[in-house]
Amino acid sequence: MKKRKIIRMISRICFVLYMIVLVYFLLLSDGFGRIEGYRDYRYNLVPFQEIIRFVKYRKYIDFMSVVINLGGNVAAFMPFGALIRWVINRRVRWFQVILYTFSFSLCVELLQLVAKVGVFDVDDLLLNTLGGLLGFWVYYLLLLINRRREARMEL
């Protein structure tokens, strides 16, 4: 039982640090042009429009821009999906992870829209939610592997 408390505490600390870094990059980072902001509201409400654009024109767009936009949105939310179980202190099912990740991502996108420091993009909501779900499944897979390893050690 003590081991679970230590894991929970470490997970919560990691989650808080993760959230600080994520908020910095999504709302404050000068590297992503967040400091200056925009004069008007920028948004995309058409699902898959930006994803298709990045895939279709990948030869003409800087490779890192494609990776950051598509892969970065997925990877950035994987820790959220992996750590959410420990933060709320109860079992979380995959559909709940989708709901939690989508809700958090929606809050971030709305903050970017209102603060005019980013683009509200429905594709980001989809990619971020996919990232949270992938993080959950990676965590779950590692948990199963660990349980099997521990069961073998007991024999």
* pLDDT tens digits along 65-108: 888 889 999 999 999 999 998 888 788 999 999 999 999 999 99
Helices (H), 57-121: 63-66, 72-75, 78-88, 94-115
Q: What's the first-to-final CA gap in the chain, in angstroms?
A: 21
Angle (deg, nearest 10), helices 94-115 and 78-88 = 110
Intervals of the chain under pLDDT 50: none
141: number of Cβ within 10 Å: 10
Predicted local distance difference test score (pLDDT) of residue 20: 94
- DSSP annotation of 104: H
